[in-house]
Amino acid sequence: MSTAFFVTGTDTGAGKTFTSCVLLHALRQRGLRAVGMKPIASGSEATPEGLRNEDALALQAASDPRPDYARVNPYALREPTAPEIAARHDGVTVTLPPIEAAFDALRRQADVVLVEGAGGFLAPVNEQLDQCELPRVLGLPVLLVVGLKLGCINHARLSAEAIRARGLPLLGWIASEVEPTMLFPDEYFAALEAALRPWPCLGRLPHAPGADPASLTPHLRLPEGFPSA
């Protein structure tokens, strides 16, 4: 059994954070100590405690035991834009050692660590580093979140191919209903199941803004022993 995995999405707004929070609650319901991590997060607000990102705070709240914020989110960037651009505006150079140190600390305090990427799988972090390097360096299998919307079949296939091309295990995928007015969502879902074989679909989350993530765990269909590579 792998004690950690990496959550990526077909693109920005695919529902990675909400899906990750539901996953954390599902793992906790199995009696596991499960914590979330978002190594790089743009769109952070100044607080008396320092910069805080909404997605990273949601992961922290869904975790048990509750980790320190600095370990959940080693790089909090101010501007709500691509991490590469946000880091440049903050005068920050993102490097791997602080991320690896925070990940190792989280792994010592939990049974499972969920690491959520920023944006899509190939989104750049800086001129030398792309998101896809994080699961490679940390040695993590990948879970793909597919935002159900126009274009998602192409984006999902491209993402899966990029993951496979880098020799990373793909645990499966989860559909996230991000557009409540989408035409023919059931047909799109069926098309995704066909397009993404042989990788299993591990759930389909409804569009539920404001819902408690713990209440949506029945929509997942995680195999026994999840996660595993």
Write the pLDDT tens digit of every residue in 79-113: 999 999 999 999 999 999 999 999 999 999 999 99
| Catalytically annotated residue among 25, 28, 38, 71 | 38
Q: Tell me which DSSP letter residue 222 carries.
A: P
Round to whole Å and give the CA distance between 143 and 140.
10
- pLDDT at residue 219 tops 70: yes
State the pLDDT at residue 127.
87
- Banded model confidence at residue 177, pLDDT cuts 50, 70, 90: very high
Cα–Cα dist 74/94, whole Å: 9
Mean pLDDT of all residues in 165-171: 96
pLDDT at res. 229: 54
The pLDDT of residue 228: 64
Q: Give the residue from 179, 172, 187, 174 showing the smallest Cα distance to 13.
A: 179
In whole angstroms, what is the distance from residue 170 CA to residue 5 CA? 10
Residues 6+ apart with CB under 8 A from 121: 8, 9, 131, 132, 142, 144, 159, 162, 163
Separation between Cα atoms, residue 222 and residue 229, nearest integer Å: 13
Is residue 38 flagged as an active site residue?
yes
Structural contact between residues 86 and 126, judged by C-beta atoms closer than 8 angstroms:
no
Model-wide pTM > 0.75: yes
* pLDDT tier at 227, thresholds 50, 70, 90: confident
> What is the Cα–Cα distance from 194 to 188, expressed in whole angstroms?
10
Q: What is the mean pLDDT of the chain?
A: 95
Q: Answer for the pair 191, 182: CB distance below 8 angstroms, yes or no.
A: no
Residues contacting 22, CB < 8 A, separation 6+: 205, 213, 214, 216, 217, 219, 220
Return the pLDDT at 2.
53
**pLDDT category of residue 74 using cuts at 50, 70 and 90:** very high
In this structure, the strands spanning 44-47 and 50-53 are antiparallel
Q: What is the pLDDT of residue 1?
A: 47
Residue range 12-33: mean pLDDT, rounded? 96
Q: How much is the pLDDT for 171?
A: 96
